[in-house]
Structure 1
Amino acid sequence: MRHVVWDWNGTLFDDQHLVLEGLHAVLAEAGLPAIDLATYQRLYTRPVKVFYERLFGRPIPADEWAHLDERYHDGYRAALHRAGLAADAERALDLVAEADSSQSLLSMWRHHELVPLVGQLGIEDRFVRIDGLQGPGGGNKAPHLEAHLTAVTHLTGDDPSQVLVIGDALDDAAAAAHVGARCVLFDGGSHPRAELETAGVPVASSLVEALDRAYG
Structure 2
Amino acid sequence: MDKHVIWDWNGTLLDDFAITARITIDALDDLGYPDVTEDDIRDHYRRPLSGYFNALLGRTALSHELDHLGDSYATRYAAAMHELPLAPDALHALRAIAPFATQSLLSMAPHPQIAALIEHHRLGEHFSLIQGFAGTGHPSKRESLLTHCETLGVAAECCWMIGDTVDDFDAASPLGIRTVLVTTGMQARAALAATGAPVVDSLADASRLILETR
Deviations 1:18-62 (A, max 9, x none): 101221342133222142211111111111111011122332356
Change (3 A) 1:78 1:34: farther
Deviates more, 1:77-86 or 1:205-214: 77-86
In 2, the alpha carbon distance for the partners of 1:87 and 1:181 equals 26
Which amino acid counterpart does residue 84 of structure 1 have in structure 2?
P
Q: Which of 183, 188, 197 is equivalent to 1:187?
A: 183
> Larger deviation: 111-120 or 127-136?
127-136
Query: How does 1:134-173 map onto structure 2 within 5 Å?
Result: 134-136=134-136, 140-153=140-153, 156=154, 159-173=155-169
| 1:61-210 map, 5 Å | 65-99=66-100, 101-136=101-136, 140-153=140-153, 156=154, 159-210=155-206
Aligned to 1:214: 210
Distance between the aligned counterparts of 1:34 and 1:146, measured in 2?
39
In structure 2, list runs of 5 or more residues that go unmatched. Answer: none
Q: State the superposition RMSD in angstroms.
A: 1.9
> 1:23 aligns to what?
24
- What is the alpha-carbon distance in structure 2 between the residues aligned to residue 136 and residue 54 of structure 1? 25
Q: Comparing 41-50 with 19-28, which one deviates more in the overlay?
A: 19-28
Percent identity for Structure 1 against Structure 2:
34
SS at match of 2:47: coil
Distance in 2 (alpha carbons) for counterparts of 1:10 and 1:97: 21
Structure 1: which 5+ residue stretches go unaligned?
Answer: none
Stretch moving more, 206-215 or 65-74: 65-74
Q: What TM-score do the two structures reach when normalised by structure 2? A: 0.91
TM superposition score normalised by structure 1? 0.90
Kindly state the Cα deviation for residue 173 of structure 1 after the two structures are TM-superposed. Answer: 0.8
Give the length in aligned residue pairs: 211
Letter in 2 for 1:188: T
Counterpart residue number, 1:41: 42
